[in-house]
Amino acid sequence: MAKFNFKLRRNRHEAGETVTAEGAPGFTREPRTELFLLGVSNMVGEDTFYEGSAVRDVRFRELIAAVAVADPDWFARFVPWLRTGALLRSASVVAALEGARAQVAAGVPGSRAIVNAALQRADEPGEALAYWLGRYGRALPKPVKRGIADAVVRLYHERSLLKYDSESTAVRFGDVIDLTHPTAKDERQGDLFRHALDRRHKRDNPLPASLKVLAARAELIALPVERRREVTDPTVLGAAGMTWEALAGWRQTTMDAPAWEAIIPTMGYLALLRNLRNFDQAGVSDAVAETVAAKLSDPGEVAKSRVLPMRFLSAYNAAPSLRWAYALEKALQHALVNVPALDARTLVLIDTSGSMDSAFSKDGTLRCWDAGTVFGLALAARAQVATVVSFSNASKVFPTVAGESVLAAVRRFKDGGYFYGGGTETEQAVRAHYDRHDRVVILTDEQAHWHASADVAAAVPARVPVYTWNLAGYRVGHTPTVGNRHTFGGLSDSAFAMIPLIEAGSRDQWPF
């Protein structure tokens, strides 16, 4: 089985070979581990501080093509995990399609199932086709065609058509059906497929009687604009598959408190989380706000939502109202149940150099150093004894406060001037703050600055494990990952669970 801890190759800096982006001695990774690291941190089409989107995306495609053929079993596990474990949509779609292309060319079977597994939301079959058509044209290999068709049968229903089949998208539901020819699972879905084709080709055929949600929506659409504000019954809106986005457009006016209170009962977890500030601005009642807060902080809802912890930080920053703060803190704690409770003494170093002030989320609302901070402080909160350090050119210990919530600590970190924005003196920070700790955790993009004595690996005794989380997925790392040196990519909860596994001796495991 492939090892989770990355095997690196040291290149002699003196010989002018591989270095980090800031000139420090660098270490390249074998293809599977490089693909894993890039995949879990890759926002496809987005620039990072040291690597433009075009270069990064080419590197991603080349790694996919190589690994999909060289180790198809590993690849078949990696892509579904990337979508459902790491929760990355674009990266998993690209990985599935580029992997299928390479496997078809090499005569390697199995890509149909991989394509199907990568598509988990009803707009993703269209996104997959749009990607393929834009890059390779209309000639669809059978595994790609059939994998997308399998996903269509799973994902297409009346409510998903209402939510995602928009004239603003290049590839509509009808286009996907035209190109992949899915076989409907029952008569009702067959009616839906025919109606989707009618919508796409503007055919004036009557709505099939079996499509009751679409009929209810049509009744609402037929109402005069001046009467639409009167519709505030959650049952009526729910029967018509009305989402908050659709309601806002249908009303053709500002979403006031009655509108929000009518749609809140049918809103999903992430939609509630994203709209807390809107609820406050519209004046949603405290009674309704209490129901929202209860759902946000319910452990079952948190687990079902699969929302990443950074979302709670983003929501907290956007809507710091006291009526949401406690619910968000509880939700974040529930989302971090897989963060291990570490025994003994742990040194946590958070890279707050200038390059870490780059986008971690696709919309740019969270930066890499935001992500590093929320996870570093959460890890420290779960540790028996922890020392938290912010480092750049300089470094400083962040004092912990007993009983303080993670979100409050994140705000204190920011307000206290712990985001430096300078260079990346990783080795210097490790040497300054390591003091007989039992483990070291570094949250960074690994782009350490070069100076003659820089050696992150040598700054800690060989018997002490050092765990590096690379938040950006660059090709070159700051330390070899052998023995007690381990490098991971991304910041999923499942990755943190690897610390106790490694310390217990279970080293030959990926998180999938």
Q: Catalogue the E-assigned strands of 356-482.
A: 385-391, 395-398, 439-444, 466-470
- C-alpha span between 54 and 284 (Å, rounded): 44
Which tens digit of pLDDT belongs to each residue from 83-111?
988 778 888 999 999 999 999 999 999 99
Residue type, 99: G
DSSP element (H, E) containing 326: helix 322-335
Q: Which of 199, 141, 190, 140 is nearest to 167 (CA)?
A: 199
- C-alpha span between 177 and 153 (Å, rounded): 10
pLDDT surpasses 60 at 24: no
DSSP element (H, E) containing 485: strand 485-489
pLDDT band, residue 3 (cuts 50/70/90)? very low
DSSP element (H, E) containing 487: strand 485-489
pLDDT surpasses 60 at 233: yes
3-state secondary structure 413-449: HHHCCCCCCCCCCHHHHHHHHCCCCCEEEEEECCCCE
Which of 355-364, 386-395, 407-416 is predicted least confidently? 355-364
- In 10 A of CB 494, how many CB atoms? 13
pLDDT of residue 498: 61
Domain residue extents for the chain = 31-201, 223-266, 339-506
Which tens digit of pLDDT belongs to each residue from 43-79?
444 443 334 567 778 989 999 999 999 999 999 999 9
- C-alpha span between 342 and 340 (Å, rounded): 6
pLDDT band, residue 333 (cuts 50/70/90)? confident
Sheet strand arrangement including 439-444? 395-398, 385-391, 345-351, 439-444, 466-470, 485-489
Task: Identify whether the C-beta of residue 350 lies closer than 8 Å to the C-beta of residue 389.
Answer: yes
Q: Catalogue the E-assigned strands of 242-381.
A: 345-351
Residue of higher predicted confidence among 422 and 2 = 422
pLDDT of residue 368: 81
Which tens digit of pLDDT belongs to each residue from 378-401?
889 889 999 999 999 999 999 988
- C-alpha span between 258 and 266 (Å, rounded): 14
- C-alpha span between 212 and 426 (Å, rounded): 61
Task: Please name the residues in contact with 469: beta carbons below 8 A apart, sequence gap of 6 or more.
Answer: 372, 375, 441, 442, 443, 444, 487, 488, 489, 490, 491, 495
DSSP element (H, E) containing 135: helix 124-136
- C-alpha span between 9 and 30 (Å, rounded): 8
| CATH 3.40.50.410, domain 339-506, yes or no | yes
- C-alpha span between 299 and 302 (Å, rounded): 5
